[in-house]
Amino acid sequence: MLRLGRREFGPHEPVIMAIVNRTPDSFYDQGATFRDEPALARVEQAVAEGAAIVDIGGVKAGPGEEVTAEEEARRTVGFVAEVRRRFPDVIISVDTWRAEVGEAVCEAGADLLNDAWGGVDPALAEVAARYGVGLVCTHAGGVQPRTRPHRVTYGDVMDDILEVTLGLAERAVSLGVPRESVLIDPGHDFGKNTRHSLEATRRLDEMVATGWPVLVSLSNKDFVGETLDRPVKERLLGTLATTAVSAWLGAQVYRVHEVAETRQVLEMVASIAGHRAPAVARRGLA
């Protein structure tokens, strides 16, 4: 059972996490949701389309202008509070690696801390434990936040992913984070080249077999772009194909830009796998 905020999810229940960037320079939308009203409209649309979680980020993942902890908090804390007020049942996640920002957003009502940089600030897990919120434990290959990998190598990329994420997850639980609120993430593109990310996808069932719920953040990423040689705005089909494979292999949470399209893919895979009945079943029965 996965428990986040007020919600519980069964082992075969896919969960969509919608991305809400509070940055002026995000790689995907170049700041379309930097201001409050467009960002709130994005939350409303995502929830209407089937997202159970909204993931709010105040710093883009890639290199760029420096964003201090104070500025990151300014972009996220008040917004978290307003989302909590307007959407009391939505699960609020915040994408941050900084403990001080994590503390502030938990005070404002966040339910989940999405640590995409693999525990670079060990105190973030302590914050999650203190507030009883969930934590995403990600493999980032040991790279520093907002840096790109350069000639990174692994003896076995999945062995490294498992060692890091399971270590982070067990540490989180030992600190007091509820076990049912901890997720592991292979960290596509983070500390990895395209072949590493493809192998991580191909072997995702090895993460699922650990028993921890697996989150994947695939949406329009560079490994999809390089695999198909497509720019950011032409990566949806590749993203959805990767989503279908990940769903078949047992991933549970999907961090995405396109909620409605992802929901259809997840529902189709769940029905093929026998975990969901067809929405309509008239053919051959009339």
Structural domains of the chain in order of their starting residue, each with its CATH number: 2-273 (3.20.20.20)
* CA distance linking residue 197 with residue 218, whole number of Å: 10
Looking at residue 223, its pLDDT comes to: 98
Letter string b/e over residues 133-156, b meaning 16 or more CB atoms within 10 A of that residue's CB: bbbbbbbbbebebeeebeeeeeee
Looking at residue 27, its pLDDT comes to: 77
User: Is pLDDT above 80 for 286?
Assistant: no
> For 254-283, how does the pLDDT look when each residue is reduced to its tens digit (9 = 90+)?
999 999 999 999 999 999 999 999 999 999
| Average pLDDT estimate for 118-128 | 98
> For 177-233, how does the pLDDT look when each residue is reduced to its tens digit (9 = 90+)?
999 999 999 999 999 999 999 999 999 999 999 999 999 999 999 999 999 999 999
Q: Which residues are catalytic?
A: 221, 255
Looking at residue 173, its pLDDT comes to: 98
Share of the chain above pLDDT 70, in %: 100
Residue with tokens 């395209």: 194
Looking at residue 17, its pLDDT comes to: 98
Looking at residue 133, its pLDDT comes to: 98
User: Is pLDDT above 90 for 30?
Assistant: no
Q: 19: which strand partners?
A: 55
Share of the chain above pLDDT 90, in %: 95
* CA distance linking residue 162 with residue 159, whole number of Å: 5
Verdict on whether the full-model pTM lies above 0.85? yes
